[in-house]
Structure 1
Amino acid sequence: MTAIPSSAAFIDDRLAKRNAMLLAVAQALGGAAASIVFATGSLIGASLLGSDKSLATLPISCFVLGTAFGTLPAGVIMHRFGRRAGFMGASLFGASASMAAAYAVFTADFPLFCLAVFCSGFVGAFVQQFRFAAADTASEGFKPKAISWVLAGGVLAGVVGPQTVIWTKDLFSPILFAGTYLAQGGLALISFTILSFLRIPKPVRGVAKAGGRPLGEIVAQRRFIVAAACAITSYALMNLVMTATPLAMIGCGLSETDAALAIQWHVLAMFGPSFFTGNLISRIGKERIVALGLLLLAGCSAVALSGLDVGHFWAALVLLGLGWNFAFIGATSMLTDTYRHEERTRVQAVNDFLVFGFVAAASFSSGKLLHTFGWGTVNVLVFPFTALCVVLLVWLVAGERKVVAS
């Protein structure tokens, strides 16, 4: 009797490893779009606006808002048509959005640029689903590793995105960054090709309509509440600080290349630990990994508040990336404990809608906070939110221990 489940688990994980590798490559290409927008969006905004630079981060905010708006449609589309079809369609849409962004830069059309990056962000909602797709065909033991493998693809995104900016920013000089968005469209088309090789079973209509438990019952679980809160906090704080950093660096007399490289090191730190985060989760537990990530986020702000030279900015962004990796992957792994297989697309979509809704709010606030109150205030805000999440983790662990003891 035990030989059959073991064989099935082997087959499942063989397929899961194949899918995770493909999704990791697609993550490297799709994730590059985010790092390109984060490295250039506020700089393009500042160049196209007048004397009031408080809206300079609006393009980045539009990207994040697009991701928030895309989460629920992404869940519906993939629930109905399957992961592969949804991902491939999104890649084509992303290529079109990148072309529109390039045209907007050429014509100095700020509203069109914001709309184009909003559409790129909408595609980002599908990219965010890569990590869940990797877990779909994985055994319970391999799920954290599958998620980590996919997010490890972001290591390449951390190089591809900023290096694309550096190598193409002057391609159509004196119009900065127009070539960058043309290149971003090319990356989306390559991603389309990679995703065509995915093998994830389409949802069975009868099973899809079975539905599972009411959504309210699922989200009311203590573990869901804490997992979602930690995912929201880690991603929102990361975005708050990261969005403001290029403008803060330029304001301190540093160059666009310094800012692009800072984003590169940040993205590398975000995804580099993914090669071993899954193993760490298996060894020391999801809650401890999340707590470690929250402490690193607080450490980022402590470093940022200690100086304004390029070393301080780079070190702070590295800690910010490491903290996000541990906290967000840990929270994502916690979330997978809260739903059944037939409930997964609804719960994942709701989780990402909450996460990116708050991330959008943080992104919209970032430019205004920096412009009005300064770099110090942006970083001080990190401390109370990380402390709150640590308290929630303690509440979760204490509650679950009480249930086991009873």
Structure 2
Amino acid sequence: MTDASPSARHALAPADIAHVQRRTVWVLSLGQILGGLAFGATVSLGAILAAELSGDDAFSGLAAAGVTLGTAILAVPLAMLARRRGRRLALTIGMAIALVGVGLVVFAVAAASFPLLLVAFGLIGSGQAANLQTRFAAADLSTDATRGRDLSVVVWATTIGAVLGPNLLGPGEALGQVFGMPELTGPYLFTIVAQGLAIVLYLIALRPDPLLLAQRIVAAAGATATGIARADRPMPARFAIFAIAAAHGVMVSVMAMTPVHLVRHGETLSIIGLVISLHIAGMYALAPVFGILADRVGRVPTVLLGQGLLTASLLTAAFGQASTTAVTVALVLLGLGWSAATVAGSALLTEASSEAWRTRRQGLSDLLMSLVGATGAILAGVVLGWIGYGGLALVAGVAVIAVTALAPTGRMPRPAAR
């Protein structure tokens, strides 16, 4: 399946490419809102459904683990599909697999099958893999001057869906009762609609395909005029992959254990929900700021800014663990540090990779990001029980030190002035 539209074949002028890029960013942003809306509702109910069907609260975390594992398994295949057939098909298929997973969740609850529920959440991970890929799709046609900004706008769009999704649980359950759906599955009606709209959006509006167009530009030897193609820089690319994975591991390990820590200190679920909401706002709300910084100040300096924010977060959590206010501040800083490192690291990975290696490394980055996050969440529980929340924060700092020490390997030579 190729994108053979006239605009895709002939839009090689910089002004035309810029127009296609602006349209692509808007389409991807809207798709990310829909994907985030679907994913937010899914994750909010996952732990509850897992506990209900298994009959044991100890298995409640397996829902999130299933989504994470599904994301990791499908990240590379979707990236390879994008390279061969384009972003439009890869994102559409990723969302379609997730839509099947959502339907399977409802069926699993109706059949009271816990194993089937876990399979369903694994399929839903495909949607998350597609959501992760959108930030790279936003950079397919970007130049050095706008790559960070374009990528960060799509990351920022996640905020809307992440905030709205959990708030649709009540109305969704009421709607589900009208349609006679199993208990706690009503909110998935909104998920199904959002996933379906995202599929239609990508199929219809993501034309010309940004990745296929970028490949044609490179093949036409016009890349030097657009900044789309670069000489391959393996060392900066490896640093970017490591920085993204490390920031995600630090963020997930501390964030996942924060509700447990606050419950032990007697906080209410409302307070815990507020803390996590502020953390999510920190992750996404200022992404465009970090994207602009990455474009103007540089990718590696912005990654290092992220490490500084992560350091401030971990120290605040370690020495202020007895204070809910301090923990809240730490979680906000944790989200900001993750955002800076992820946005700048993703931009660096894209421009450090030649067209031949770009999608392969992007898929590998998403795979490692998911695996490190899942491993971090599992090990964090062990560390929490061993040396407490403050100790966990200090242990997580090892990853920050490693990224900072390796930062010189991520520096890219400045492009010659044209």
Structure 2 equivalent of residue 197 of structure 1? 205
2:35 is matched with which residue: 21, 30, 34? 30
The aligned length equals: 385
Q: Is the 8 A contact 2:88 2:206 kept in 1?
A: yes
C-alpha change, 1:349 and 1:167, in structure 2 (3 Å) is same
Q: Is the 8 A contact 2:252 2:373 kept in 1?
A: yes
1:304 is matched with which residue: 309, 317, 320? 317
Structure 2 equivalent of residue 213 of structure 1? none
Find the aligned partners of 1:188 and 1:111 in 2 and give their Cα distance: 23
Q: Is the 8 A contact 1:223 1:335 kept in 2?
A: yes
Residue 227 of structure 1, CA deviation = 1.0
Find the aligned partners of 1:299 and 1:106 in 2 and give their Cα distance: 47
1:274 is matched with which residue: 281, 287, 310? 287
Trace 1:92-111 onto structure 2 (pairs within 5 A): 92-105=96-109, 109-111=113-115
State which drifts further: 331-340 or 354-363: 354-363
C-alpha change, 1:301 and 1:39, in structure 2 (3 Å) is farther
C-alpha change, 1:48 and 1:261, in structure 2 (3 Å) is farther
Structure 1 equivalent of residue 83 of structure 2? 79
State which drifts further: 180-189 or 328-337: 180-189
Structure 1 equivalent of residue 355 of structure 2? 341
C-alpha change, 1:319 and 1:394, in structure 2 (3 Å) is same
Q: Is the 8 A contact 2:321 2:389 kept in 1?
A: no
Q: Is the 8 A contact 1:39 1:260 kept in 2?
A: no
Residue 61 of structure 1, CA deviation = 1.9
C-alpha change, 1:133 and 1:222, in structure 2 (3 Å) is same
Trace 1:3-402 onto structure 2 (pairs within 5 A): 8-46=13-51, 53=58, 55-105=59-109, 109-165=113-169, 168=172, 177-195=184-202, 196-201=204-209, 203=212, 221-305=234-318, 306-307=320-321, 310-370=324-384, 374-397=388-411
Residue 135 of structure 1, CA deviation = 1.4
Find the aligned partners of 1:302 and 1:14 in 2 and give their Cα distance: 45
C-alpha change, 1:294 and 1:244, in structure 2 (3 Å) is same
The residue type paired with residue 246 of structure 2 is: T
Residue 222 of structure 1, CA deviation = 1.9
Q: Any unmatched runs of 5+ in structure 2?
A: 1-11, 220-230
The residue type paired with residue 243 of structure 1 is: A
C-alpha change, 1:263 and 1:30, in structure 2 (3 Å) is farther
Find the aligned partners of 1:39 and 1:314 in 2 and give their Cα distance: 20
The residue type paired with residue 134 of structure 2 is: F
The residue type paired with residue 378 of structure 2 is: F
C-alpha change, 1:274 and 1:220, in structure 2 (3 Å) is closer
Q: Any unmatched runs of 5+ in structure 1?
A: 1-6, 211-217
Across the aligned residues of Structure 1 and Structure 2, the Cα RMSD in angstroms comes to 3.3
Cα deviation digits, residues 174-205 of structure 1 (max 9, x gap): x874333333222212222322311233749x
Find the aligned partners of 1:312 and 1:39 in 2 and give their Cα distance: 25
Q: Is the 8 A contact 1:154 1:267 kept in 2?
A: no
Q: Is the 8 A contact 2:321 2:390 kept in 1?
A: no
Find the aligned partners of 2:171 and 2:330 in 1 and give their Cα distance: 25
Cα deviation digits, residues 343-371 of structure 1 (max 9, x gap): 32222222222222222322333445446
Find the aligned partners of 1:231 and 1:361 in 2 and give their Cα distance: 15
Residue 73 of structure 1, CA deviation = 0.9
Residue 385 of structure 1, CA deviation = 1.0
Residue 112 of structure 1, CA deviation = 2.7
C-alpha change, 1:22 and 1:339, in structure 2 (3 Å) is same
Find the aligned partners of 1:187 and 1:131 in 2 and give their Cα distance: 19
The residue type paired with residue 92 of structure 1 is: A
Residue 263 of structure 1, CA deviation = 3.3
Give the SS at the match of 2:371.
helix
Find the aligned partners of 1:258 and 1:166 in 2 and give their Cα distance: 19
Cα deviation digits, residues 135-175 of structure 1 (max 9, x gap): 112233222221111111112123123323465468779x8
The residue type paired with residue 311 of structure 2 is: A
Q: Is the 8 A contact 2:47 2:64 kept in 1?
A: yes
Residue 45 of structure 1, CA deviation = 4.2
Give the SS at the match of 1:358.
helix
Residue 311 of structure 1, CA deviation = 3.6
Residue 106 of structure 1, CA deviation = 5.4
Task: Normalising by structure 1, report the TM-score.
Answer: 0.82
Give the SS at the match of 1:129.
helix
Task: Normalising by structure 2, report the TM-score.
Answer: 0.80
Find the aligned partners of 2:39 and 2:64 in 1 and give their Cα distance: 9
